[in-house]
Chains A and B, each alone.
Chain A
């Protein structure tokens, strides 16, 4: 009974993070904001839901596989998000109009003219 309460609490917390992250994917103005929202929020939500399965099923049933999945989610999600964001910037995707800073502008001087036509689809 006690572990059931913890399972439900972790499950609801993870659901909150995942739904908010996906709503940010729907709502945010440009690629970098969307990547920011989904990578952080859905990683946190997925880890909370995996912790809920770990609590509910017990150490004997899932054990090492749950810990492996949690560590893997924490390791790979920032790497993937960083790679997508860097590739999007190299490709010349425009920032939103109300962005106030562009720290990578000096590092990629050639992208602003040449690649801006590639992402009109």
Chain B
């Protein structure tokens, strides 16, 4: 039962990634693309978690933590860049 549900989960998460990539390519403005990249990070974390369930191992949890931290820092840096231009560290 777990195996069937995780296989369906991979297919549905791949469809969700397709929606995100559509917005990343088409999206009319730059903040749309930043939102799409943020969502792609979230869906990737969910895929790693589903893979942990499927294999019954917990060694990929470090990857989950690192990806969530990198996604947050990247989102904040891109938001600062969008608001202020090139120099994101100026006050």
Cα-based distance from A83 to B72 in the complex (angstroms): 11
Over the window 41-73 of chain B, the binary record of Cβ atoms lying under 8 Å from chain A Cβ atoms (1 yes, 0 no) is 011011001101100111001101100110110
Over the window 65-93 of chain A, the binary record of Cβ atoms lying under 8 Å from chain B Cβ atoms (1 yes, 0 no) is 11011001100110111011111101101
Query: How many A residues touch B, CB cutoff 8 Å?
Result: 53
Q: Give the residues in chain A near B79, CB-CB below 8 Å.
A: 80, 83-84, 86-87
Q: Which of B36, B39, B61 contacts A69 (CB 8 A)?
A: B61
Interface residues of A (CB under 8 A from B): 4, 7-8, 11-12, 14-15, 18-19, 21-23, 25-26, 31, 34-35, 38-39, 42-43, 45-46, 49-50, 52-53, 56-57, 61-62, 65-66, 68-69, 72-73, 76-77, 79-81, 83-88, 90-91, 93, 119, 121
